[in-house]
Chain A
């Protein structure tokens, strides 16, 4: 067994869990994890919430590493530039080329940026995103009482930042092309209720409009919307979704239309056949989830890096051992995605894939929409997702009723 090497490209949560998963499934060879950030893996959800209030120290956010992964080699601040899957080589931006016996692709996503006229895409120009610890440190300095904050995008991150900035005493405007905040995961009724609650706390929404222009020389002073509205601003937060960090996998014949298409063993697919010895994990993976159907989807929920990392560890450990590989590949794959979000005094907790619901399949199952409630999302007769507003114990009770878990 000696002399084998697993190369994990991407040093976030998914890369960490894949390394731990390899060890948990008996792999004893070398594991090298290479990531482009300066930091060891850390927890990102607090970056748009409590960490903006207080302590943004890396040691407060760093993940505990399981003792079984204490001997993993970490290289931070180095980015992969190209992988050659046929030759089993990865080239990095410091010039190094590393070979591997198995590869984990865990490079995740980056924040999408608006491509419109105006000052450059830098924190100094007061244009912020929130993906990394360094992003959050740059943003926090601007979130002072009385600051005028324009949040572009009303998804998870946009809504969380709007709430956090408001709580910190900022004057917050939230701009989105959608008709309601978080309408895609929540559906219109709950999203409209969420909007009312944000407005009650002082957030001003500009919905159904886009951004035409950033005004300012060295930094943004005004944001001009497509309906002509001009918003003076001290801080702009671009919370407009993500782009996959998949460029380093170009040229290998993979399906990179939206992340990397994989099979249920998380192996990338080339010409309809899986590539053995490679696994794609975390936000980057577009995988079928048999709890719902065989359609491959990317799922940017916090639970997915851990689930996919563990799965990749099991599959690759068996592959490298040459023992039990067919069984590992065939093992059921029916993960239950989950997300939570804290906005003001609102705790949202979801299980499943609410976004798969029929337009007329969204119903309040328990409680009252104006207070605490559990909303069910149906596709035909099937419950594909639930979202709790508060009522944590009740929504937790629906966990096993979402989708159709494979019995085995």
Chain B
């Protein structure tokens, strides 16, 4: 079972807090912009991804499923 990570790229301002909360899923690229590494993470990562969504200053991360 998995769920879907949806980032609103119009909102994202590359704060990078998600990459500290869930480094398996979110990554700060070499140019400083955010990258989603896994769009449908394993269920075991749900709590970490929810933490990442919580700490996004612009609340750009949503979880579906």
Contacts and interface: CB of A to CB of B under 8 A. Distances in A.
Given A64-B62, A66-B50, A303 B55 contact: yes
Nearest to A395: B16
A121 interface: no
A349 interface: yes
Interface in B22-47: 28, 32, 47
Contact of A392 (B15, B53, B58, B62): B15
A64 B32 contact: no
Contacts of B53: 64
Contacts of A48: none
Contacts of A392: 14-16, 28, 32
What band does the interface of chain A fall in when counting residues whose beta carbon is under 8 Å from B?
10 to 19
Given A64-B53, A66-B50, A396 B58 contact: no
A17 interface: yes
Contacts of A302: 57
Nearest to A16: B54
Contacts of B55: 303, 306
By secondary structure, the B interface counts as mixed
A340 B24 CA distance: 24
Interface in B1-30: 13-17, 20, 28
Nearest to B28: A393
Contact of A393 (B32, B62, B63): B32
Contacts of A202: none
A43 interface: yes
A63 B62 CA distance: 10
Which of B54, B55, B63 counts the most chain A CB atoms within 10 A? B54
A135 to B, nearest CB: 20
A340 B13 CA distance: 12
Contacts of A64: 53, 59, 62-63
Contacts of B50: 66
A138 interface: no
A399 B55 CA distance: 15
Contact of A349 (B15, B20, B59): B15
A63 B15 contact: no
A263 to B, nearest CB: 24
B56 to A, nearest CB: 10
A396 B34 CA distance: 13
Given A64-B53, A302-B57, A393-B32, A399 B62 contact: no
A43 B59 contact: yes
Contacts of A340: 15, 57
A306 B54 CA distance: 8
A67 B14 CA distance: 26
A46 B56 CA distance: 13
14 contacts: A17-B54, A24-B47, A43-B58, A45-B57, A63-B59, A64-B53, A64-B59, A303-B55, A306-B55, A338-B17, A392-B14, A392-B32, A393-B28, A396-B20
Interface of B: 13-17, 20, 28, 32, 47, 50, 53-55, 57-59, 62-63
A-B interface, 3 closest residue pairs, ranked by CB to CB distance from nearest: A306-B54, A393-B32, A43-B59
